[in-house]
Chains A and B, each alone.
Chain A
Amino acid sequence: MRSLVHTPLSILFILLLIVPASLKATEWSCVVNLSGSWYFSVGDNPEWANPKTNVSEWDKIYVPGEWEEYYKGYNGYAWYRKNFDMRSYPKEGTLALLLGRIDDVDEVFINGVKIGQTGSFFPDYQSAWDVERKYYLPEGLLKPTDNVIAVRVYDEGNPGGIVSGKDIGFFYDNDNSLLSLDLSGEWKFSIYRESNSTDKDFIDKNWKSVSIPSSWESQGYTNHDGYGCYRKEFTFPQNISKKDIYLSLGKIDDMDKVYFNGKLIGRTENLDSYNRFNRSNACRMYRFYRIPEHLVEIKNVVVVEVYDYQQRGGIYEGPIGIINHKNAHILQERNEEDSWPYSVESIFRSIFNW
C-alpha cells in the first residue's frame, strides 16, 4: 500500500475518490456472499489454484481485512481459498465477482481456471492497491455446488491481502439484464497504434487480454494516458433481431471511435449529450451506437479506439453488449437520476486549469 499523505493535494484526491464511489450507477444484488472465513497460507504455489489440492491444514482468516492482523509484518505472496455453492444462478444478465480492494496485486482462479488479474506480478511489477476488484466469469464455469475460488495475492509492503470492501462475493448486475447479448469480460487490448487494427480480419492474437468494464489502469496499464485499442470477436446469436439494435459500451474515459466489422459506426463526438466546449463531460456519458442491420454477420468484430487525456482511461463501466432500442432508453432513464453532474475528472481538471 502506498502512502497517500505526502501532499495536501493527495488528501483532496482521496476526498474526490470517495464521493463519486458512493454514487456508482450500477445496481448490484448479492447472489453469493463470500465475506467471512477463508483458508489462507503465505507462500506461492501454482498447485494451490487446483481445486483438488487439499488445503484443510491451512490457516483460516477473516475476509476482508489486512493479513497483518494475523501475520504482522508479512510481505510477499499468499493465497486465499474458499468453497462455495451457486444454487441460484441468474437466468439472464451478468454475474460479477467483487473482491473489494486487494493490496497489491491479485490473480483469481475459479475451479482451477484463471478468470482475471489486477495489477502485475514480477518481473513487470505493478501495484493496483487502490483498485476495486471486479471480475466477470466465462459461461459454464460455475457448478451448483462445490465450487472453489483461489486468490493469489502479492503484497509489496505495509497492509496486504483482501483488505477491504463492502461487497465481497458474486453479484448480479441488474443493468446487464437489459442486454440482448452481454459482451463484458475478456477483450484484446493494445496501447500501440497499428494502421489496420480496426480491420475485421486484423490478427490480434499477440495482443494482451484485459477484462472490461474496468479502467486500463486496473489491468496493469498504470499511468498510461493516451491511446488504447480494444478488440472483441463474437458470434451473433440467431434468436436476436438485427433490427434497431445498439452497441452499448457503458462509460468510456475519455474519447472513443467504434468500428463494427471494420466500418466506423460512431464516435464520442456523435453523441447527443456531447458538448465540444466541455470535453470533460465525455467520460460520464453512456455510449450507445446504432449498429446498421446490413453490417451484422454471423462472426463479428467490434473495435473500440480510446483516447484518454489523463488519469483513469478506457471502458471503465458497463453495461457492455448488444441492446435493443427500448432497453437502451430504460437504461438511460434508470441511471440519469444517479448521475452526478460533476465527475472526478472535471473537478480535477478545473483545479488544474484554474
Chain B
Amino acid sequence: MKQSIKYVQIALFFITLSFHAGANNFYKELSLRGNWNFKIGDNQEWSKTNFDDSDWKKIYVPSPWEEEGYQGYDGYAWYRRNVVIPISLKDRALTLELGYIDDVDEVFFNGSKIGQSGSFPPYYSTAYGAHRLYEIPLNLVNYDKPNTIAVRIYDSQIEGGIVSGDIRIGASDIAIVPDVSLNGTWKFNTGMDVNESKMQDIIVPGRWENQGFYNYDGYAVYSRSFILPANMINKQMVFLAGRIDDYDQLYINGKFIGQTGDYEKRTSSDKFNEFRNYFIPAGVLKPGENNVVIKIYDGRGEGGIMEGSLGLISQENFIKYWRMKRIR
C-alpha cells in the first residue's frame, strides 16, 4: 500500500513537472465579460465596423438572453462590442473565446468573418455543445484602437445567445504571421477528391464537427484559391497548414507538395497534435491566382483543420519567427 502511494506521488510529481514545462509564460487575456450591444433580428449590415449600434440595447454576456429580458425569444439576434487591443500584444497569437453559444453563430472581427460554429437555416444544425475558440487573423487587428466584434446568432429553441463560459481574448506565445493569410472561408466536401457538386463553405481553422458534419469520420477535401503577390514569386515559401486531425496531403496547383501521417494506408496516427509546415518547391507557385487543396482523413473523434494560422510565409520570415520562439 505504502509502495503504491509512493508511485502515485512520483507520478504526480512528473505530471506537475510536465505542466510547468508546458505552461506558457506569455499568457495574457482581455476579458470581454459584461455588457455588449444587442439586437434581435438579422441584417448583414450589422457585421460592419462602421455600423452605428448606439441605439441598441445592452445585454450581459455570458447569459441566456431569456434571463436578460427576452423571455421566449427564438430566432436571430446579434451581439456587438468594441475592444482595444494594446500594442504590447503585437506579434502574439490572439484567440477570441466566446464560451458556449446556443445554437449557431458566425463571428466577424472588424467586418471580416473569422469563424462559424453550427449551420444556419435552411440547413440548420446546432453546435450548442461546442467550445467557441476563434483565431483572430493579425492582419485584421488595429492595435491601441477600438476593434469591432460582431456575433450573429441563431437559436432554435429554449435558451439562446452567448450562454456560458469564458468570454475573452487570449494572447499566447508569439504568433506566426503568414505573408498571405488563408484563414477564413474555404470550400469543403467529403470524399477523397474535390467534388464541386457536393462542395460547401467551411471556416478554417475549425473542426468540421462544428460546421455541419457532426460525427463525420473519414475522407474530406478542403480547397480554395488565393492570389500570390507579385513580390513573392521568386521567394522560397512555406505553406502553413495548421494542426490537422488526423492525416493530410497538400496539393498546390495540382502538384503534390507533402503529407503528414499515412493518408493512403491509414496506419494509426500520432500526428494529430502536430502543426504542418510544408516547403513549396520552386516553380509550383505562379503569379496571380493559385489553387490549394488539402486532403484529410480523420480516423475518429474530431476532424479537420483544427487550429493555426494558415497561409504562405516567406522562408525568411518563417526562420525569423522560429528564432524568436526558440526556448532560451
A44 neighbours in B (Cβ, 8 Å): 236, 279, 315
Q: Are B270 and A76 in contact (CB under 8 A)?
A: no
| Interface status of A6 (Cβ within 8 A of chain B) | yes
Q: Are A125 and B259 in contact (CB under 8 A)?
A: yes
Q: Are A158 and B279 in contact (CB under 8 A)?
A: no
Interface size for chain B: under 10, 10 to 19, 20 to 34, or 35 or more residues? 20 to 34
Q: Are B270 and A2 in contact (CB under 8 A)?
A: yes
| Interface status of B325 (Cβ within 8 A of chain A) | yes
Q: Are B326 and A75 in contact (CB under 8 A)?
A: no
| Interface status of A72 (Cβ within 8 A of chain B) | yes
B258 neighbours in A (Cβ, 8 Å): 122-123, 125
| Interface status of B260 (Cβ within 8 A of chain A) | yes
* Bound CA span A157–B274, Å: 6
Residues 202-260 of B at the A interface (beta carbon under 8 Å): 236, 238, 256-260
User: Can you list 27 residue pairs at the A/B interface with Cβ under 8 Å?
Assistant: A2-B270, A42-B322, A43-B319, A44-B279, A69-B327, A70-B326, A70-B327, A71-B322, A71-B325, A72-B325, A73-B274, A74-B322, A75-B260, A75-B274, A75-B275, A76-B277, A122-B256, A122-B257, A122-B259, A123-B257, A123-B258, A125-B258, A156-B261, A156-B274, A157-B270, A157-B274, A158-B270
Q: Are B327 and A71 in contact (CB under 8 A)?
A: yes
Query: How far apart are A70's CB and chain B's nearest CB, in angstroms?
Result: 5
A41 neighbours in B (Cβ, 8 Å): 319
With A42-B318, A75-B276 already in contact, the answer to whether A6 and B326 are too (CB < 8 A) is no
Q: In this complex, which of A6, A59, A75 has the most chain B Cβ atoms within 10 angstroms of its Cβ?
A: A75
Q: Are B326 and A158 in contact (CB under 8 A)?
A: no
A45 neighbours in B (Cβ, 8 Å): 236, 315
Q: Are A156 and B260 in contact (CB under 8 A)?
A: yes
Q: In this complex, which of B238, B261, B279 has the most chain A Cβ atoms within 10 angstroms of its Cβ?
A: B279
Q: Are B238 and A76 in contact (CB under 8 A)?
A: yes
In addition to A43-B319, A77-B279, 19 A-B residue pairs with Cβ atoms within 8 Å of each other are A2-B270, A42-B318, A44-B236, A44-B315, A59-B323, A71-B327, A73-B274, A74-B322, A75-B274, A75-B275, A76-B238, A76-B277, A122-B256, A122-B257, A122-B258, A123-B256, A123-B258, A156-B274, A158-B270
Mask: chain A, 315-348; 1 = CB below 8 Å from B; 0 = not = 0000000000000000000000000000000000
* Bound CA span A125–B279, Å: 13
With A59-B326, A122-B258 already in contact, the answer to whether A3 and B270 are too (CB < 8 A) is yes
Complex: chain B residue closest to A61, CB-CB: B326
A125 neighbours in B (Cβ, 8 Å): 258-259
Q: In this complex, which of A3, A42, A156 has the most chain B Cβ atoms within 10 angstroms of its Cβ?
A: A42
Query: How far apart are A73's CB and chain B's nearest CB, in angstroms?
Result: 6
Q: Are A75 and B277 in contact (CB under 8 A)?
A: yes
* Bound CA span A76–B268, Å: 21
Complex: chain B residue closest to A157, CB-CB: B274
Q: In this complex, which of A6, A125, A156, A157 has the most chain B Cβ atoms within 10 angstroms of its Cβ?
A: A157
B275 neighbours in A (Cβ, 8 Å): 73, 75
Complex: chain B residue closest to A68, CB-CB: B327
B322 neighbours in A (Cβ, 8 Å): 42-43, 71, 74
Residues 100-128 of B at the A interface (beta carbon under 8 Å): none
A6 neighbours in B (Cβ, 8 Å): 268
Query: How far apart are A115's CB and chain B's nearest CB, in angstroms?
Result: 23
Name B's interface SS: mixed
Chain A interface residues toward B at CB < 8 A:
2-3, 6, 41-45, 59, 69-77, 122-123, 125, 156-158
Query: How far apart are A68's CB and chain B's nearest CB, in angstroms?
Result: 9
| Interface status of B271 (Cβ within 8 A of chain A) | yes
Q: Are B274 and A158 in contact (CB under 8 A)?
A: yes
B270 neighbours in A (Cβ, 8 Å): 2-3, 157-158
With A45-B236, A70-B326, A72-B327 already in contact, the answer to whether A158 and B277 are too (CB < 8 A) is no
* Bound CA span A185–B277, Å: 33
Query: How far apart are B231's CB and chain A's nearest CB, in angstroms?
Result: 19
* Bound CA span A81–B270, Å: 30
* Bound CA span A123–B276, Å: 16
A158 neighbours in B (Cβ, 8 Å): 270-271, 274
B274 neighbours in A (Cβ, 8 Å): 73, 75, 156-158
A69 neighbours in B (Cβ, 8 Å): 327
Query: How far apart are A67's CB and chain B's nearest CB, in angstroms?
Result: 10
Query: How far apart are A11's CB and chain B's nearest CB, in angstroms?
Result: 15
B327 neighbours in A (Cβ, 8 Å): 69-72
Query: How far apart are B318's CB and chain A's nearest CB, in angstroms?
Result: 6
* Bound CA span A94–B134, Å: 58
* Bound CA span A2–B271, Å: 9
A70 neighbours in B (Cβ, 8 Å): 326-327
B268 neighbours in A (Cβ, 8 Å): 3, 6
B325 neighbours in A (Cβ, 8 Å): 71-72
Q: In this complex, which of A43, A59, A70, A125 has the most chain B Cβ atoms within 10 angstroms of its Cβ?
A: A43
* Bound CA span A157–B271, Å: 6
Q: Are B326 and A76 in contact (CB under 8 A)?
A: no
B256 neighbours in A (Cβ, 8 Å): 122-123
Mask: chain B, 288-328; 1 = CB below 8 Å from A; 0 = not = 00000000000000000000000000010011001101110
Chain A to chain B: the 8 pairs with minimum beta-carbon distance, closest first: A157-B274, A76-B277, A3-B270, A157-B271, A42-B322, A43-B319, A122-B258, A43-B315
With A3-B270, A76-B238 already in contact, the answer to whether A43 and B318 are too (CB < 8 A) is yes
Complex: chain A residue closest to B327, CB-CB: A70
* Bound CA span A157–B326, Å: 17
Query: How far apart are B96's CB and chain A's nearest CB, in angstroms?
Result: 22
Complex: chain B residue closest to A5, CB-CB: B270
A156 neighbours in B (Cβ, 8 Å): 260-261, 271, 274
A123 neighbours in B (Cβ, 8 Å): 256-258
Query: How far apart are A119's CB and chain B's nearest CB, in angstroms?
Result: 14
Query: How far apart are A39's CB and chain B's nearest CB, in angstroms?
Result: 13
